[in-house]
Amino acid sequence: MNSKTINKPINKPSPLYVTSGEPAGIGPDICLDLAKRKGVRPIVVLADKALLQKRAEQLGIDVELMDYEGQDCVAEDGQLFVHHIPVNVSVVAGQLNLKNADYVIRQLDFAANMALQDTCAGIVTAPVQKSVINESGIAFSGHTEFFQEKAGVDRVVMMLATKSLRVALVTTHLPLRQVADAITTERLQQVTDILVADLQRKFHIAEPRILVCGLNPHAGEDGYLGDEEIRIINPVLKRYQQNGVNISLAMPADTLFNPEHLKNADAVLAMYHDQGLPVLKSQGFGEAVNITLGLPFIRTSVDHGTALDLAGTGRASSSSLMVATDLALQMASGDQTDNHC
């Protein structure tokens, strides 16, 4: 592919920025597939241009890489806009290098600054290798925490979505023995507020319908299997119901995810990471999207890691990145979304 056709002018839409992530991983590989994507606004990859060109040659991909300088146009088939961010040292696919750790941070920093200045439609992130960033001396917990700090917000919410299911989390990466103590009235209220607001504001669902997992087996079974539902969870949920929010009380998680319940839900709120996400990923692994709610901008991400062993081999799938990009574009367009991403 090496299209030379004239770009079609459009009405000055802000670009969607896609970070290419860890340079030695599959981020550059899957970002190159965006050259096949057609859209109504520029999609711009944040990457070292020479790195992308080298990886394209390694993969046998014919692509025209174009410097993005605010053009009021979308790329044609086979073209890819790039905002050049230089690596520090040459990259070998599959081989991490501490000297390039800050390259990833510079991508995220640029994207966040553009989003906070309201000069982009949103951010899509390819995977990063947290270990190499931290080993280089840069404290880094993850994308979510990075954007939360940059935006200066008190709390964000992790939500993953497939074509048929959205699952948001009250707690995320905590050891299981710490989960119950972390589910407080304040935290549950903050998470629910963000979930309701962003389903309305970013997903354009006027009256979202939310199902909530209990913490304990059988949602506590009237206190015989745990009393968090009685003491904390249901009192909070009842207040939302009294205020007109279409939200369930705590339901047994082992039966909540059956199709009969889900057909009337826009999202599920799970209490902890491995309560909701195994169900979601079993339905759509590789095609799920990670969405950060509570930020003043749109941020979606792939649902997988850097896959160093696949980098440069041609065996990496870009399906999750494509879905993440499509969803970000849909959210940015203001179109009403269905009961799925």
Q: Which CATH class is domain 154-294?
A: alpha beta
Provide the strand spans (E) within 60-196.
64-67, 79-84, 122-125, 157-161, 166-169
CA–CA distance, 182 with 272 (Å, rounded to integer) = 10
pLDDT of residue 299: 98
Q: What is the pTM of this model?
A: 0.89
How far separated are the first and last CA of the chain, in Å rounded?
A: 30
pLDDT of residue 288: 86
CATH of domain 1-153: 3.40.718.10
Domain boundaries, the chain: 1-153, 154-294
Residues 249 and 237: beta-carbon distance below 8 Å: yes
Residues 309 and 129: beta-carbon distance below 8 Å: no
Q: Which two tokens stand for residue 156?
A: 């964000």
Known binding-site positions for a divalent metal cation: 173, 218, 273
**Residue 190 burial (10 A CB sphere; 0-12, 13-18, 19+):** middle
User: Tokens 């059988």, residue?
Assistant: 218
Q: What are phi and psi of 232, to 5 degrees?
A: -120, -55
CA–CA distance, 223 with 182 (Å, rounded to integer) = 19
CA–CA distance, 248 with 233 (Å, rounded to integer) = 11
**4 Cβ contact partners less than 8 Å away, ≥ 6 residues apart:** 64
pLDDT of residue 74: 83
pLDDT of residue 164: 87
Q: Which two tokens stand for residue 173?
A: 């990466």
**Secondary structure of residue 4 in the 3-state scheme:** coil
pLDDT of residue 338: 47
Residues 2 and 78: beta-carbon distance below 8 Å: yes
H-state helical runs in 159-223: 176-182, 185-201
pLDDT of residue 163: 83
Q: Which two tokens stand for residue 283?
A: 């339905």
CA–CA distance, 124 with 309 (Å, rounded to integer) = 23
pLDDT of residue 2: 31
CA–CA distance, 46 with 53 (Å, rounded to integer) = 13
Known binding-site positions: 143-144, 173, 218, 273, 281, 290, 299
pLDDT along the chain (341 residues), means of 10: 33 83 98 87 95 98 94 86 97 97 97 96 96 96 93 96 93 94 98 98 95 97 95 98 98 95 96 94 81 97 94 95 93 62 38
Fill in the DSSP letter of residue 263: T
pLDDT of residue 186: 98
CA–CA distance, 66 with 250 (Å, rounded to integer) = 51
Provide the strand spans (E) within the chain.
16-19, 43-47, 64-67, 79-84, 122-125, 157-161, 166-169, 209-213, 246-251, 267-270, 289-293, 299-301
Element containing residue 106 per DSSP (H, E): helix 101-116
pLDDT of residue 335: 61
Q: Which residues of 195-226 are buried (b: 16+ CB within 10 A; e: fewer)?
A: bbebbeebbebeebebbbbbbbebbbeeeeeb
Handedness of CA 118, 122, 126, 131 (dihedral sign): positive
Known binding-site positions for substrate: 143-144, 281, 290, 299
- Domain 1-153 and domain 154-294 have a common topology: yes
Strand order of the sheet with strand 299-301? 64-67, 79-84, 43-47, 16-19, 122-125, 299-301, 289-293, 157-161, 166-169, 267-270, 209-213, 246-251
